[in-house]
């Protein structure tokens, strides 16, 4: 009877999704009841699940890491949304469910405008419920799917997916963006922004999903994957974790060592540092929590 009452709150959901929830409720009754009860009360989700019915069913499918079962998926998702609401970010995330929110905007070397944007829930839905997007020449060139979760009593920010543009001419555009970002690789700029968000919200580390644990359901997609997460994480200085994923520290300021650089390169490095600081300043305006984050 209690499950019927919980389920009835979502009677406006489409027939197909209601069928998935009903079947999931038979297989995972406690987890389904916990998740639907949470969605019905959460400040971010309760008024938006009709637009994103997949959000109701995502606890039944692989999410974030291949290591997680249904109970763990419910735990991670509830931790994520509680953390965002506790930090006073419900309005920001709610706005990002409707359209991309511009977090930071800057002028590049050529005069082109670039942006760091945030979307929520509907993009990269299997690998995280937030998506940080890097826009150059009005095109999405890199995105990272993110989720907040508790590990060893502390809330960490985790990257569940990192994706670059795959259209024709993408490599040429990324090279152009690198030059326009004062020799800062777009993927490095995006990951620096992720680490800065972790710092702003009091996370001790940013966790990075490994090749082994990344989500890839479609067998044909798995065969076509060419990106090597493990290699990229190692290149940016991340370290291997005992659980098989990677971790890296958060960033309060741009991580650029001017003192040890050759004098002929310092001018470009200063411009790169200024660009990164502009991005970080924009993030700070959006992600400064209502309460002071407790750091682990």
Assign 3-class secondary structure to the chain.
CHHHHHHHCCCCCCHHHHHHHHHHHHHCHHHHHHHHHHHHHCCCCCCCCCCCCHHHHHHHCCECECCCCHHHHHHHHHHHHHHHHHCCCHHHHHHHHHCCEEEEEEECCCCCEEEEEEEECCCCCCCCCEEEEEEECCEEEEEEEEEEEEECCEEEEEEEEEEECCCCCHHHHHHHHHHHCCCCCHHHHHHHHHHHHHHHCCCCEEEECCCCCCCCCCHHHHHHCCCCHHHHHHHCCCEECCCCCEEEECCCCCCCCCCCCCHHHHHHHHHHHHHHHHHHHHHHHHHCCCCCCCCC
Question: In this predicted structure, what is the pLDDT of residue 9?
Answer: 55
Task: Could you please state the CATH topology (level 3) that the domain comprising 90-287 is classified under.
Answer: Aminopeptidase (3.40.630)
Residue that the structure tokens 């760091």 belong to: 116
Question: In this predicted structure, what is the pLDDT of residue 252?
Answer: 95
Give the residue range(s) of CATH 3.40.630 domains in the chain.
90-287
Residue 260 token pair: 């040890």
How far, in Å, CA of 102 to CA of 115, rounded? 7
Residue 135 token pair: 């826009």
Contact status, residue 206 vs residue 158, Cβ threshold 8 Å? yes
Contact status, residue 46 vs residue 55, Cβ threshold 8 Å? no
Question: In this predicted structure, what is the pLDDT of residue 4?
Answer: 45
pLDDT tens, residue order, the chain (296 aa): 344 445 455 555 667 777 888 898 899 999 999 999 999 899 999 887 777 777 888 899 999 999 999 999 999 999 999 999 999 999 999 999 999 999 999 999 999 999 999 999 877 678 999 999 999 999 999 999 999 999 989 999 999 999 998 777 889 999 999 999 999 999 999 999 999 999 999 999 999 999 999 987 555 455 445 579 999 999 999 999 999 999 999 999 998 877 777 777 888 889 999 999 999 999 999 998 767 677 77
Among residues 24, 148, 152, 130, the alpha carbon closest in space to that of 76 is found at: 148
pTM above threshold 0.85: yes
Contact status, residue 120 vs residue 146, Cβ threshold 8 Å? no
């Amino acid at each position: 009877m209690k499950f019927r009452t919980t389920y009835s709150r979502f009677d406006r959901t489409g027939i197909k999704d209601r069928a998935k929830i009903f079947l999931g409720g038979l297989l995972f009754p406690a987890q389904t009841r916990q998740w639907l009860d949470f969605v019905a009360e959460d400040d971010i989700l309760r008024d938006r699940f009709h637009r994103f019915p997949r959000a109701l069913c995502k606890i039944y499918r692989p999410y974030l890491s291949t290591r997680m079962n249904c109970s763990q998926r419910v735990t991670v998702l509830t931790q994520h949304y509680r953390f965002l609401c506790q930090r006073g970010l419900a309005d920001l995330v709610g706005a990002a469910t409707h359209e991309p929110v511009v977090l930071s905007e800057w002028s590049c070397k050529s005069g082109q405008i670039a942006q760091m944007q945030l979307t929520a829930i509907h993009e990269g839905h299997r690998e995280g419920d937030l998506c940080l997007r890097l826009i150059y020449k009005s095109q999405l060139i890199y995105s990272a799917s993110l989720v907040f979760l508790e590990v060893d009593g502390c809330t960490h920010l985790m990257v569940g997916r990192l994706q670059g543009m795959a259209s024709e001419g993408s490599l040429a555009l990324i090279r152009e963006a690198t030059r326009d970002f004062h020799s800062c690789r777009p993927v490095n700029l995006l990951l620096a922004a992720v680490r800065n968000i972790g710092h702003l919200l009091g996370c001790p580390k940013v966790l990075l999903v490994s090749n082994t644990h990344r989500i890839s359901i479609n067998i044909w997609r798995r065969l076509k994957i060419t990106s090597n997460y493990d290699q990229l994480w190692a290149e940016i200085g991340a370290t291997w974790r005992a659980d098989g994923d990677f971790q890296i520290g958060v960033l309060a300021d741009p991580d650029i060592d001017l003192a040890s650089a050759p004098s002929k390169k310092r001018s470009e490095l200063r411009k790169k540092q200024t660009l990164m600081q502009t991005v970080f300043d924009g993030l700070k305006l959006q992600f400064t929590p209502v309460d002071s984050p407790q750091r682990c």
